[in-house]
């Protein structure tokens, strides 16, 4: 069997044989061979949202949306969430394999060494209005890091790239906590590296300077697990932004800032906050059937359901649902849980949603967990960003190791005027 595609151009009657890549795609540039005349530019593919366009080859994350499969470097997400830790998953994504005990000890030490930020970052943050959104502050401060480590612009140096990646993973929780403290008018809390990655984040978020961090171990484990679930997710909007901006060979801090900016949008990273708003609007369990009717009539949005990739249950959602009960045993039951369960029950029994592959995604229950941990809703997307940084960085590193990658430069189909002559303003 030949791994080719035969195409006949009905305009000219010519036939073209296009080679397949991994028996599942064609090289888009091969479409340029299909012309009506010699000086014709050739065909383009038109795919406005990249719904069916592969922009890279990657060995990082595998998704089978039809069968609810998600794997990092070949490891099922269920196993990693149950048995691994977030920093171990960071190592896996960046270096390609799970670490040995010695490798992990050294990696964790390197991460915790970089948790502090330059004192001038605090001055930079102080310039933001008191009610600035934490995600806006995070975008700006991550970008600003490139000004403190100018050597990060030498992206052809693998050792420098590795240092930049370690700094990004280490400093993200510090910047996120500082952004929250700034908003609350509270003093910044410096990292306590003896606490470990996740406990240290709780410490910087909620403690006062003279207090010991006494967060419950179940909550530490839960947030660690949520970071794992968010660590990477193939070529989504923010990852595509990371690769696109990174293709210009800017420093990784600037590229990650672009990815955070993409995540800031409510269609990407803000969905779990939108779920809480939706549940608050529904109000009570007895009003769920009426709400579902409005959704089917396109008079309301069912947030936290459906996914561009998953056409059955999001494997992360099943993990998060179980995790929610573990958290609520410590924090007390979230009053929205009963309402969320009823929305899920009715939707999953309704042919309208089942036929369209609209099942709960990872965002449906994460907001409930974050809320029960006392995180304000506008910090939810910041938590998402902390978890996703190792994925963005591993994608960025992979891009630099791929000789086929060039600076991103999509084409367009021009729909404007063919030609117009300039008319002086007094004659218009």
Positions marked active-site? 268, 307, 363
Cα separation, 205 vs 188, whole angstroms: 9
Cα separation, 27 vs 23, whole angstroms: 11
CA distances (Å), 410 to each of 41, 44, 244, 255, in order?
15, 10, 10, 18
Paired sense of beta strands 61-64 and 25-26, if any: unpaired
Kindly state the DSSP code that residue 360 receives in the 8-state scheme. B
Q: 254, 197, 249: which is closest to 386 by C-alpha?
A: 197
Kindly state the DSSP code that residue 8 receives in the 8-state scheme. E
**Token representation of residue 225:** 């697990």
Cα separation, 175 vs 197, whole angstroms: 13
C-alpha 411, offset from chain centre? 26
C-alpha 46, offset from chain centre? 25
3-state DSSP assignment of residue 67: coil
**Token representation of residue 384:** 């998402």
């Amino acid at each position: 069997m030949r791994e080719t595609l035969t195409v006949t151009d009905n305009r000219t009657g010519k036939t073209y044989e296009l080679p397949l890549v991994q028996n599942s795609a064609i090289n888009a540039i091969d479409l340029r061979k299909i012309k009506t005349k010699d000086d014709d530019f050739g065909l383009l593919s038109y795919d406005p949202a990249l719904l069916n366009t592969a922009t890279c080859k990657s060995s990082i994350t595998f998704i089978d949306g039809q069968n609810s499969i998600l794997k990092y470097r070949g490891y099922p997400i269920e196993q990693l969430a149950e048995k691994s830790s977030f920093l171990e998953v960071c190592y896996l994504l960046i270096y390609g394999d799970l670490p040995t005990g010695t490798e992990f000890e050294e990696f964790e030490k390197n991460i915790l060494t970089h948790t502090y930020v330059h004192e001038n970052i605090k001055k930079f943050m102080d310039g933001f209005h008191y009610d600035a959104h934490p995600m806006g502050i995070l975008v700006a401060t991550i970008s600003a890091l490139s000004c403190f480590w100018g050597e990060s612009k030498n992206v052809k140096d693998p050792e420098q790239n590795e240092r930049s990646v370690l700094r990004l993973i280490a400093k993200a929780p510090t910047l996120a906590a500082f952004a929250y403290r700034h908003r609350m008018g509270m003093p910044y809390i410096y990292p306590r590296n003896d606490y470990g990655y996740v406990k240290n984040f709780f410490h910087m978020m909620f403690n006062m300077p003279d207090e010991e961090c006494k967060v419950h171990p179940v909550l530490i484990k839960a947030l660690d697990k949520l970071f794992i679930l968010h660590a990477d997710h193939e070529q989504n909007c923010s990852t595509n932004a990371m690769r696109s901006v990174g293709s210009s060979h800017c420093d990784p801090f600037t590229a990650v800032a672009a990815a955070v900016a993409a995540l800031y949008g409510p269609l990407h990273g803000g969905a779990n906050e939108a779920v809480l708003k939706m549940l608050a609007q529904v109000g009570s369990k007895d009003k769920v059937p009426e709400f579902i009717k409005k959704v089917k009539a396109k008079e309301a949005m069912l947030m936290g359901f459906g996914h561009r990739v998953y056409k059955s249950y999001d494997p992360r959602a099943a993990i998060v649902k179980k995790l929610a009960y573990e958290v609520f045993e410590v924090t007390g039951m979230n009053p929205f849980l009963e309402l969320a369960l009823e929305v899920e029950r009715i939707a999953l029994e309704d042919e309208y949603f089942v036929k369209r592959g609209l099942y709960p995604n990872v965002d449906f229950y994460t907001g409930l967990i974050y809320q029960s941990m006392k995180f304000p809703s506008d910090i939810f997307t910041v938590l998402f960003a902390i978890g996703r940084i190792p994925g963005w960085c591993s994608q960025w590193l992979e891009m630099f190791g791929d000789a086929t990658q060039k600076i991103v430069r999509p084409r367009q189909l021009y729909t404007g005027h063919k030609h117009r002559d300039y008319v002086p303003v007094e004659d218009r």
